Amino acid sequence: MKYQSQKVALAYFYVAMGLFAIQVLGGLLAGWVYVSPNTLSEAVPFNVIRMIHTNALIVWLLLGFFGATYYLLPEEAERELFSPMLAYVQLAILVVGTLAAVAGYLIGIHGGREFLEQPLWVKYGIFVAAVIFLVNVSMTALAGRKTAITNILLLGLWLLSLLWVFAIINPVNLGLDKLYWWFVVHLWVEATWELVMAAILGYLMLKLTGVDREVIEKWLYVIVSTALFSGILGTGHHYLWIGTPGYWQWTGTIFSMFEVVPFFAMMSFAFVMVWKGRKNHPNKAALLWSLGCSVVAFFGAGVWGFMHTIHGVNYYTHGTQVTAAHGHLSFYGAYVMLNLAMITFAMPVLRGRAPYNQVLNMVSFWLMTSGMAFMTFTLTFAGVVQTHLQRVMGMTFMEVQDQLGLFYLMRFGAGLAVVVGALIFIYSQLVVRREIIDPGPVAVPGE
């Protein structure tokens, strides 16, 4: 660790990993409710479990982004953080807000609106925390060296924080409500978070492959411009069938088809950098997560997104298990794996444990990734059957659900593999083991 203030990242990563565990365990419980629907139906109803699952996901991913920023910014800007103190205050606000929101959910207090169920005062708290964050990182960046990586990262973080304002605006009219809701949900994952992803991947590639900064920057500019070009008007793929004007069908379809491009570019970027790189960095696990992230993001977001983004297709698949399949693989590939790559990279440095044993970490990679892939396949099959029976044959929702039991059982099994993988990952980070390097035959003096 080159700069003392990078240490704040450690606290962020710890909290992020704690919420990650809660998130996947919540998912597993929700998956069990699909298998055995009356489980806990009085004490903790499905909608509450689901809220905890999805909210924990978003919060830990954001905490991971904040931690990653605090870790890489001092190195890029070549100076200490403006204020480590403010960074801890920001974390405290977010932790209190999250705990209060969860406590509220458990006793049935929430504001509706998927992903944005937090009570209004928590939303204001998050906004305050975001402002503190922006001040802290902007002051650091302005006073130091400016690189393409930090510029893109900060642009993404500024825009995503500003979009949070639309989480606070909640019109009575349901159509308008959805219009604004997607400004947060879609413009996060398919525009601003993509900038964060490109910047962090760029940083990891810089460190892990040793390719020249200029080469990495050129790729980043292509990725960022294609992401914004496609992603902003691509919001239209959520305005296809919700009562918005008809032009959204073509706008949404065409622009969102282009959204595949930045994800393909990120995948090509990662592989070309590794191919061109001369450096043999010892942290192979971080490289595995970085490459895996770019590939699974391409499939989850790019391919599985493309699958239902054309308006004639979405007319049938909207809101079915096809959507859930895409939601899982895209979030996992793009943002979960990105954060795990960064944590894998930074943790041994923050804890002074390099060189370290990466076997458990890599085991968790394969377990989680194959579990997620299997879950995606089962949900996709469930979704296709559901679409056909419900939307083509006209059976009712619950009749169709009765036909899908086997898929839901298999989803639970896949989810179990993901949870075990996640716990192994967390263990491998909490108990970072040093690599025992065999010194080879030792010459005994005097012989």
Q: Which residues bind ligand HEM (CB under 6 A)?
A: 24, 27-28, 30-31, 34, 50, 53-54, 57, 114, 189-190, 237-238, 256, 259-260, 297, 301-302, 305-306, 308-309, 314, 318-319, 323-324, 326-328, 330-332, 334, 336, 411-412, 415, 418-419
CB closer to ligand HEM, 105 vs 331: 331
Rounded-to-integer distance, Cα 169 and Cα 395, Å: 37
CA distance 262 to 258: 8
Name the one range near Fe ion by CB under 5 A: 186-194, 212-220, 267-275, 313-321. 186-194
Stretch that binds Fe ion, among 63-71, 189-197, 281-289, 344-352 (CB under 5 A): 189-197
| Shortest distance (Å) from residue 238 CB to Fe ion | 6
Element housing 85 (H / E): helix 84-106
The interface partner of residue 5, options being ligand HEM, Fe ion, none and the CB cut-off 5 to 8 Å by kind, is none
Binding to Fe ion by residue 411, rule CB under 5 A? Answer: no
In angstroms, the CA 197 to CA 429 distance is 22
CB 314 within 8 A of CB 241: yes
Tell me the closest approach of the beta carbon of residue 368 to ligand HEM, in angstroms: 7
Q: Are 184 and 167 in contact (CB under 8 A)?
A: yes
Spatial CA neighbour of 117 closest among 98, 132, 131, 130: 98
Helix (H) or strand (E) holding 284: helix 284-297
CA distance 323 to 318: 7
| Pair of tokens at residue 149 | 């990586």
Judged by beta carbon distances under 5 to 8 A according to partner kind, the member of ligand HEM, Fe ion, none in contact with residue 86 is: none
Q: How many residues bind Fe ion (CB under 5 A)?
A: 2
For the bound state, the minimum distance from the C-beta of residue 178 to ligand HEM, rounded and expressed in Å, comes to 10
String marking each residue 7-36 x if it binds Fe ion according to CB under 5 A? ------------------------------
What does the DSSP 8-state code read for residue 319?
Answer: T
When CB distances to Fe ion are compared, the closest residue is 186
Q: Which two tokens stand for residue 175?
A: 């159509």
Q: Are 20 and 60 in contact (CB under 8 A)?
A: yes
The three state secondary structure string of 363-407 is HHHHHHHHHHHHHHHHHHHHHHHHHHHHHHCCCCHHHHHHHCHHH
Q: Nearest distance from residue 418's CB to ligand HEM, in Å?
A: 4
Question: Helix (H, G, I), strand (E, B), or coil: what is residue 108?
Answer: coil
User: What's the closest the beta carbon of residue 274 comes to ligand HEM, in angstroms?
Assistant: 21
Distance (Å, rounded) from C-alpha 31 to C-alpha 337?
21
DSSP 237: G
Provide, rounded to whole angstroms, the least separation between the CB of residue 55 and ligand HEM. Answer: 10
Identify which of residues 97 and 234 has a Cβ nearer to ligand HEM in the complex. Answer: 234
- The distance from CA 41 to its chain's CA centroid, rounded to whole angstroms, is 29
Among 50, 123, 186, 311, binds Fe ion (CB under 5 A): 186
Between 229 and 306, whose beta carbon lies closer to ligand HEM? 306
Binding segment for Fe ion among 93-101, 180-188, 199-207, 296-304 (CB under 5 A)? Answer: 180-188
Residue 154 near residue 90, CB atoms below 8 Å: no
Q: Which range touches Fe ion (CB under 5 A), out of 51-59, 122-130, 183-191, 197-205? A: 183-191
Q: Which is nearer to ligand HEM, 93 or 285 (CB)?
A: 285
Question: And the tokens for 367?
Answer: 């377990």
Nearest to 230 by CA among 222, 240, 218, 242: 222
Q: Which stretch binds Fe ion (CB under 5 A): 133-141, 185-193, 293-301, 344-352?
A: 185-193
Those residues with Cβ within 8 angstroms of residue 28's Cβ, 6 or more apart along the chain or in another chain: 412, 415, 416, 419
The residues, ordered by sequence, that sit 6+ positions from 34 with a Cβ below 8 Å of its Cβ are 408, 411, 412
Asked if 13 and 347 count as a contact pair (C-beta separation under 8 A), the reply is yes
User: Which C-beta is closer to ligand HEM: that of 33 or that of 141?
Assistant: 33
- In terms of CB distance, is 209 or 378 closer to ligand HEM? 378
Of the two residues 137 and 414, which places its CB atom closer to ligand HEM in the complex?
A: 414
Nearest Cα to 419, choosing from 53, 61, 50?
A: 53
- 140 binds, options ligand HEM, Fe ion, none, Cβ within 5 to 8 A by partner type: none
Please state the closest distance from residue 19 (CB atom) to Fe ion, in A: 24
Residue 12 binding result from ligand HEM, Fe ion, none, given CB thresholds of 5 to 8 Å by partner type: none
Please report how close the Cβ of residue 259 comes to ligand HEM at its closest, in angstroms.
Answer: 4
Distance in Å, CB of 122 to ligand HEM, minimum:
20
Q: How far is C-alpha 328 from the chain's CA centre?
A: 10
Spell out the alpha helix ranges (H) of 36-83: 46-77
- Please report how close the Cβ of residue 101 comes to Fe ion at its closest, in angstroms: 24
Q: Minimum CB separation from ligand HEM for residue 315, in Å?
A: 9
Residues at the interface with Fe ion (CB under 5 A): 186, 190
